[in-house]
Structure 1
Amino acid sequence: MAEAILGDHDQYSCSICLELLRDPVTIPCGHSYCMSCISECWNTNDQNAIYRCPQCRHAFDSKPPLNRSTILAEIMEKLRSTELQVSESNLAGPGEVACDFCAGEMIKAVKSCLECRASYCETHVQPHYNVPALRKHKLVKAAVIPVCPKHDKLLEVYCRTDQKCVCMHCLLDDHKGHDTVPSTTERKEKQIKLTHSQTKVKQTIQTKEKELQKMKMDITSHSDAAKKAVDNSKKVFSELVKLIEKKSLEVIEEIKAQEKADLDQGKMLQKKLEEEITGLKKREGVLEDLIQTDDNIQFLQNYESVSSSSGSDELPSFSFHPYCSFEDVSKLICDLTGRLETTCTQEISKTVNKVLDLSAKRPSSDIVVGDRVRVKQSVVTPTHKWGSVTHSSIGVVKKIQNDLLTVDFPEQRNWTGVISEMERVTSGGSVVADLSTKNGLMNIKVGDRVRVKPSITTPKHNWGRNVSHKSVGVVKDIKDDDSVVVDFPGHANWKGILTEMELVTKDEETGPSNLDSTIKVGDKVRVKPSVVTPTHKWGAVTHKSIGVVKKIQSDSLTADFPEQKNWTGIISEMEIVAGAGSGPESVFKIGDQVRVKPSVVTPTHKWGAVTHKSIGVVQKIHSSLESLIVDFPEHKKWTGLITEMELVTGAGLDDIKVGDRVRVKSSVITPKHNWGGHVTHKSVGVVKDIKSEDVIVDFPSHKGWKGILSEMELVNNSDADVLGSS
């Protein structure tokens, strides 16, 4: 509702001050004004003055009374409060773009126009929706519009050569001759890659979340099992204690029963003895009375009866002899305690040892999942064989079960080994330094020339642009996580893993040798491998580019490269390419196998169906035009410049030999000798024979199939497993 009122802002404005009405008054013609504005307008001392409405010019004979419009005043108050609230909510905050047309406060912009190069709020953007000429403008979400700092023009083009956005004027200036495309085209391509990467990340997240969920369940289950074992142990030992207490009570009851029996016997004997003592005391009194008798006759008469009944010698002797000896009972209890203690100690120790045996399945070493490991140098052949792994290989532990572990090596995934045959590798780059060069790894450091190991099928961070097994680059930086940054001729700041790289000595570097002679006009030259970045920058030129010297002035030269004409360089940074001046016939001959150089982004005569991986046979050479005709499997009679091509040696054909597992390259649409049988790109066969450039392969669906070496590629075990499973 407030927005609707604000949308009709003009009808509530005073036509004199053009602001919202204050103390509004309505004159007889129906128009409304601020009381102060109309009063000032009609303020005059002329008695004959005619009062007119400023809008409709209606004349009044006398000055109309100015009475305040209460309802309109209330509407104005509500309108002002609403406008204040709306303006406060629409103020541009930190990091937000403000409208370029709002005066006073910074109102938040909602759209930016790429044509006008300005940003607009909801109110000021309306003309772009209503005015036909402005409807054609490109509106985007409010943002700071990037412009070329040099030409102050809109950035509309992406330079693939320098990997930056440029304006149309830059195409005629610093980026002339570069590989450029519209920003929308590059955005689409990169967005497809990002979407693919995002999909992979989402899939990885889902997989890891499932792993995490399973791990949580396993941990919970393991914890529950431990609690259950503790509860069972408490219960068993508690029952054992109760049993001992029960037996203890039984023994105590038996002791008390024996005590009672013995005490009853003793009390009975004690009673008899007391009775006898009482009888004897009575006889003692009779005898005492007789002895004290004064009358002799009476004494004598009673003597016989008293003396004859004395019977002191006939009384039995009483003594307490219990049936049970409690000293013996205590001894028995002590003996039982000793036996129980010994038994419990032995049996419980056995149980504890068995529990330890169960936990002994855990690796005896300190290797855990996630550790970086390698095969110990002392292990000649691992129990589960090498596969593609070597002593130099360093992988990450993926799983541990009993005394076995599963490791992901760069050369082989899901490799199985024995824990006792492995050793942990510390991080931080010291790993490489700890390994001697004779064991396969060099002490790689910044500034060294390196390449990807031949055993690496795909580097962890992928190949990148124009990087291959033959690419030789200079180490720019080594990180703490064993990653390495390398400047390759075709890809600067390439990221890899130290364990995937190997040093390249001068003897191993391929290509023409350097000449020490003085560079002169007409010589074929290239940038020295030791030069990381030329003084006058690369442009479209790379380390592999070979150009012709066109001009020499002082210590600089101008050269024409296939990738860039009139390139400027420093003589000390250049080297002559040996053998390059004897004509193209000395470089290539008919029948040679060739491919486009990795440094060539786009060949002069375009790609056609050919790619950097395509390998073809030279059919014809035009010396005057410095071009050649090549038959590629994907493109017959393809035309290219000699300077853009390179020879492919036997090493370039993956060193295929008899017994290897191979398949037809995915880049080959139809093999030279046709498919035959049921052979497809996915078919994997075994090389039976090699004759010159021909190869005989036994496929499961076609025995004795004939193909061309350049059309085939090696298949490693992991690829074969994947194909087999699919």
Structure 2
Amino acid sequence: MAEAILGDQDQYSCSICLDLLRDPVTIPCGHSYCMSCISECWNTNDQKGIYTCPQCRHAFNSKPPLNRSTVLNEIMEKLRSTELHVSESAQSLAGPGEIACDFCAGEMIKAVKSCLECRASYCEIHVQPHYNVPALKKHKLVKAAVIPVCPKHDKLLEVYCRTDQKCVCMHCVLDDHKDHDTVPSAKERDEKQIKLTRSQAKVKQTIQTKEKELQKMKMDITSHSDSAKKAVDNSKKVFSELVKLIEKKSIEVIEEIKAQEKADLDQGTKLQKKLEEEITQLKKRDGVLEDLIQTDDNIQFLQNYESVSSSSGSNGLPSFSFQPYCSFEDVRKLICDLTGRLENTCTQEISKTISKVSDLSAKRPSVDIVVGDRVRVKPSVVTPTHKWGSVTHLSVGVVKKIQGDLLTVDFPEQRNWTGVVSEMERATSAGSDLSTKNGPVNIKVGDRVRVKPSITTPKHNWGRNITHKSVGVVKDIKDDDSVVVDFPGHANWKGILTEMELVAIDETIGTLSLDSNIKVGDKVRVKPSVVTPTHKWGAVTHKSIGVVKKIQGDSLTVDFSEQKNWTGMVSEMEIVASAGSGLESVVKIGDQVRVKPSVVNPTHKWGAVTHKSIGVVQKIHGSLESLIVDFPEHKKWTGLFSEMELVTGDDLDIKVGDRVRVKSSIITPKHNWGGHITHKSVGVVKDIKSEDVIVDFPSHKGWKGILSEMELVNNSDADVSGSS
């Protein structure tokens, strides 16, 4: 029975501590909690006289009595004993990114709970004292996770500062946030959760509305398709009947021609017989005359002459000729004339029908623009039919409504702008690459841009050292109209497309050098965001640090230890601080770092971080001794410069499923190029065996290479290069 319950144990968990109910009590609304959890929850609001259910938010006028549920408590004891038995036999080792028990010796057992008071994580066995020891029962247990602490005071984050919009500890409240608007984190969470719940309700309502629209659209599309099929079937039927009618009339004409032929042939046969009979009679007469002429007896000749000569004339015989009543040559001409008239009639009438069918869809937009598309006025349109207003040729807006040949567009400069469909063009297209994605086509990845002079404060704020004069390079363009720009003093700055403007080449000459603060004699390196420099790598890598020898316009000459007189672009370089001799001399905010392999235990502990974890530097303390790093497994992790190492694209671990290509520095791979593979070819790692890697390229499946010869390709590069 207990095992059956264990399979559905979530329904017996307290929604406050997220653990199995202990000393369960049921409040009037029907929800059950641990007695200590609900008591502590209500005690914090006791002064305000507010008693609500944490789950359903049902409010009570007075504090309800808390009576222990005997039956439910017995079920919990059985469930807990069964769960403990199962957990003891099923404890597993902590995997990558998982929290390990802080009290297990030897093997790192996976933790299931973390204590906010002890600031430690426990496995199933070591967490039991928190359930049994009275002093530990009051501690707050949560699901195993990295416990957030204040990086300055190393204390638990318990308070939320509304002024700075961040979580702080109690020492911070008395120190840096003394006069700020601060509230308990639980209270702030409750208020924000209510807002999120409302937002979620609106989203669900919108989803329902859109699903209804989708269902109706599917029905309309199906109905329209069915109507088209019926029209096609009807057209086939009509034209088939028309063909049958023509065939029927053709048969009637053929039968009539054959009837006329028979009548004429019968008449000819009769005339032919009469003519043959007359010829026979004449031949007989010819024989009689021939006999008389050959007679030798004169008396006999004279006696018979009168009788024979009186009937010897043939002038009275009628003349015969075949003259048919019907001329079939005339019939042929009539048929040809009928065919011509039918062809002309059919062509004209069918053309009229097709024209009328086309007229039915004449209201359809001349271009394939639909609601939701991003559009702009065509460059060929000097003045739109409904005037410019605040809109220009560079303005890009979203189609809000289409009615006939008119459409309503929401531009950043002007809402509900009315235009003509034929005067508009789409600003984006399906399958477009990053260079034109979701923005004015005149701004694309790699362009130099700056904030427009008309923008007082950008939507996402200025950032470090950015001004109206700062010129950066577009790194990415997002679907939400945002743009990521690398400025010399601030990498990965986020802005809005409509707030930016292009910077012409002649403007950047002399300006970029000023804004970037790069001058002759400075130590520089290639920015991590640059995959391949404009003038190629040569022997230089992301780790190479050189001295600027010469600057001319937007190009500069650098002496690296690996390569002298290397030519690069100012916009692709960054300054390397000269102070210090360790990592602090090259690291900056935004760089990727990891713990050195030689460090067994970091000074500030591992937390959820491992040697394989790679994070991004978020903050560098003024002393240059410590830094704050955001790891995927552990946010705001504190470490020491001396314990960290810089990670570049060459250092990133390559694993199965990653997109890779041959490094530009490799002239010929160890196992040769293979079919149509070049430095631009991008493939997917299929298998890794020791130092060998198997890659599936579009033009060559199962290609074999060496790990050290390959480099990772980020998603934007892969989309662009993957077609190679």
TM-score under structure 1 length normalisation: 0.47
Distance 1:118 1:681, change over 3 A: closer
Conservation of the 8 A alpha-carbon contact between 1:101 and 1:124 = yes
Q: Distance in 1 between matches of 2:95 and 2:476?
A: 41
Summarize deviations over 1:347-366 as a string: whole Å, max 9, x none.
32233333333333233356
Shift of 1:371: 3.5
Summarize deviations over 1:233-274 as a string: whole Å, max 9, x none.
222322222222222222212211211111111122122222
Distance 1:244 1:647, change over 3 A: closer
Shift of 1:377: 8.9
Match of 1:78, SS state, is helix
Conservation of the 8 A alpha-carbon contact between 1:633 and 1:670 = no
Distance 1:256 1:2, change over 3 A: same
Residue 118 of structure 2 is matched in structure 1 by 116
Distance 1:314 1:490, change over 3 A: same
Match of 1:514, SS state, is helix
User: Structure 1: 5+ residue runs without aligned partners?
Assistant: none
Pair 1:707-2:709 in alignment? no
Distance 1:130 1:293, change over 3 A: farther
Shift of 1:321: 0.9
Shift of 1:614: 49
Shift of 1:324: 1.1
Which is worse superposed, 136-145 or 55-64? 55-64
Which is worse superposed, 152-161 or 266-275? 152-161
Q: Distance in 2 between matches of 1:177 and 1:118?
A: 32
Conservation of the 8 A alpha-carbon contact between 1:631 and 1:637 = yes
Shift of 1:137: 1.9
Summarize deviations over 1:456-508 as a string: whole Å, max 9, x none.
99999999999999999999997686435799999999977444789999999
Q: Distance in 2 between matches of 1:111 and 1:629?
A: 26
Q: Distance in 2 between matches of 1:54 and 1:411?
A: 46
Distance 1:450 1:667, change over 3 A: same
Which is worse superposed, 312-321 or 504-513? 504-513
Which is worse superposed, 466-475 or 662-671? 662-671
Distance 1:172 1:443, change over 3 A: farther
1:451-470 aligned at under 5 Å gives the runs: none
Conservation of the 8 A alpha-carbon contact between 2:437 and 2:479 = no
Q: Distance in 1 between matches of 2:51 and 2:402?
A: 101
Conservation of the 8 A alpha-carbon contact between 2:662 and 2:709 = yes
Distance 1:495 1:172, change over 3 A: same
Conservation of the 8 A alpha-carbon contact between 2:658 and 2:712 = yes
Summarize deviations over 1:549-592 as a string: whole Å, max 9, x none.
99999999999999999999999999999999999999999999
Summarize deviations over 1:264-312 as a string: whole Å, max 9, x none.
1112212222233333344444445555666666655555444434453
Distance 1:142 1:506, change over 3 A: same
Shift of 1:320: 0.9
Pair 1:429-2:431 in alignment? yes
Conservation of the 8 A alpha-carbon contact between 1:428 and 1:479 = no
Residue 646 of structure 2 is matched in structure 1 by 647
Which is worse superposed, 470-479 or 307-316? 470-479
Q: Distance in 1 between matches of 2:69 and 2:629?
A: 93
Distance 1:148 1:418, change over 3 A: same
Q: Distance in 2 between matches of 1:362 and 1:338?
A: 37
Q: Distance in 2 between matches of 1:57 and 1:138?
A: 22
Distance 1:461 1:283, change over 3 A: farther
Which is worse superposed, 319-328 or 477-486? 477-486
Q: Distance in 1 between matches of 2:658 and 2:19?
A: 89
Conservation of the 8 A alpha-carbon contact between 1:396 and 1:408 = yes
Distance 1:70 1:421, change over 3 A: closer
Distance 1:608 1:382, change over 3 A: farther
Summarize deviations over 1:613-637 as a string: whole Å, max 9, x none.
9999999999999999999999999
Conservation of the 8 A alpha-carbon contact between 1:388 and 1:455 = no
Summarize deviations over 1:512-532 as a string: whole Å, max 9, x none.
999999999999999999999
Distance 1:309 1:185, change over 3 A: same
Summarize deviations over 1:97-118 as a string: whole Å, max 9, x none.
4555667876655433323334
Conservation of the 8 A alpha-carbon contact between 2:51 and 2:63 = yes
Distance 1:80 1:345, change over 3 A: closer
Conservation of the 8 A alpha-carbon contact between 2:371 and 2:400 = yes
Indicate the structure (1 or 2) with the bigger Cα radius of gyration: 1
Conservation of the 8 A alpha-carbon contact between 1:695 and 1:706 = yes
Conservation of the 8 A alpha-carbon contact between 2:617 and 2:629 = yes
Shift of 1:341: 2.0
Q: Distance in 1 between matches of 2:345 and 2:613?
A: 80
Summarize deviations over 1:394-418 as a string: whole Å, max 9, x none.
4212333321112233466544433
Distance 1:657 1:14, change over 3 A: closer
Shift of 1:333: 1.4
Shift of 1:322: 0.9
Q: Distance in 1 between matches of 2:565 and 2:120?
A: 40
Distance 1:568 1:151, change over 3 A: farther
Conservation of the 8 A alpha-carbon contact between 2:576 and 2:585 = no
Distance 1:548 1:410, change over 3 A: farther
Q: Distance in 1 between matches of 2:629 and 2:60?
A: 99
Q: Distance in 1 between matches of 2:409 and 2:647?
A: 35
Match of 1:559, SS state, is strand
Conservation of the 8 A alpha-carbon contact between 1:112 and 1:142 = yes
Shift of 1:336: 1.7
Which is worse superposed, 638-647 or 165-174? 638-647
1:364-513 aligned at under 5 Å gives the runs: 364-365=366-367, 367-374=369-376, 394-410=396-412, 413-422=415-424, 425=427, 482-483=481-482, 497-499=496-498
Conservation of the 8 A alpha-carbon contact between 1:93 and 1:108 = yes
Which is worse superposed, 170-179 or 336-345? 170-179
Distance 1:642 1:683, change over 3 A: same
Conservation of the 8 A alpha-carbon contact between 1:487 and 1:493 = yes
Aligned residues: 722
Which is worse superposed, 536-545 or 39-48? 39-48
Match of 1:515, SS state, is helix
Which is worse superposed, 434-443 or 92-101? 434-443
Residue 597 of structure 1 is matched in structure 2 by 596
Task: Report which structure shows greater RCO (CA 8 Å, sep ≥6).
Answer: 2
Q: Distance in 1 between matches of 2:596 and 2:57?
A: 85
Distance 1:436 1:160, change over 3 A: same
Q: Distance in 2 between matches of 1:586 and 1:63?
A: 61
User: Structure 2: 5+ residue runs without aligned partners?
Assistant: none
Conservation of the 8 A alpha-carbon contact between 1:6 and 1:83 = yes
What is the RMSD computed on CA atoms of the aligned residues? Answer: 26.2
Residue 564 of structure 1 is matched in structure 2 by 563
Conservation of the 8 A alpha-carbon contact between 2:620 and 2:628 = yes
Q: Distance in 2 between matches of 1:537 and 1:151?
A: 47
Distance 1:267 1:577, change over 3 A: closer
Residue 29 of structure 2 is matched in structure 1 by 29
Conservation of the 8 A alpha-carbon contact between 1:514 and 1:575 = no
Summarize deviations over 1:599-653 as a string: whole Å, max 9, x none.
9999999999999999999999999999999999999999999999999999999
Conservation of the 8 A alpha-carbon contact between 2:509 and 2:553 = no
Aligned-residue identity in percent: 90
Distance 1:93 1:661, change over 3 A: closer
Summarize deviations over 1:660-707 as a string: whole Å, max 9, x none.
999999999999999999999999999999999999999999999999
Which is worse superposed, 518-527 or 24-33? 24-33
Conservation of the 8 A alpha-carbon contact between 2:488 and 2:515 = no
Q: Distance in 1 between matches of 2:593 and 2:347?
A: 81
Q: Distance in 2 between matches of 1:564 and 1:236?
A: 82
Q: Distance in 2 between matches of 1:120 and 1:481?
A: 42
Conservation of the 8 A alpha-carbon contact between 1:442 and 1:503 = no
Shift of 1:65: 62
Q: Distance in 2 between matches of 1:221 and 1:555?
A: 61
Residue 259 of structure 2 is matched in structure 1 by 257
Residue 664 of structure 1 is matched in structure 2 by 662
Q: Distance in 2 between matches of 1:33 and 1:632?
A: 35
Distance 1:223 1:236, change over 3 A: same
